[in-house]
Amino acid sequence: MRILRVRSKIKWVKEKSFDYGVGAEFLVIPKKLTLKALYDYTRSDGSADFTCLDVPTPAGVNISDWGDYRKKAFSVKAIYDMTKSVSLTAGCVYEQLKPDDIQFGGYQYLPGGTPSYLTGAY
């Protein structure tokens, strides 16, 4: 039995992320009604390199699509100033997450029966 010790910094997992956001604020009725809108985009590209662990591994064990995803978010909110110290806020948020991770590739959720399961999990 061989015990593998990994230092506090995990060197075999690499993650590159890219994120940007754009926001705007519109004074519909000055000092009364404000409309705010925000769009945010995040992309993450990860990989796992198990050959750096100095452990015998089968060829091709490195994973290039580890932790990959894209996320888009859009939010809108309206702020109505009723008085100087009281305001009413209403809004909504829409998010779309697209995972492209080897852990979830090709899986399908099969409901029905007991237990329900993801294909490929067992």
Q: Report how many helices (DSSP H) and strands (DSSP E) the chain contains, helices first.
A: 0, 6
Contacts of 12 (CB under 8 A, 6+ apart): 6, 48, 49, 50, 52, 53
How do residues 67-86 score in pLDDT, each as one tens digit? 788 999 999 999 999 998 99
Lowest mean pLDDT among 20-29, 64-73, 98-107: 98-107
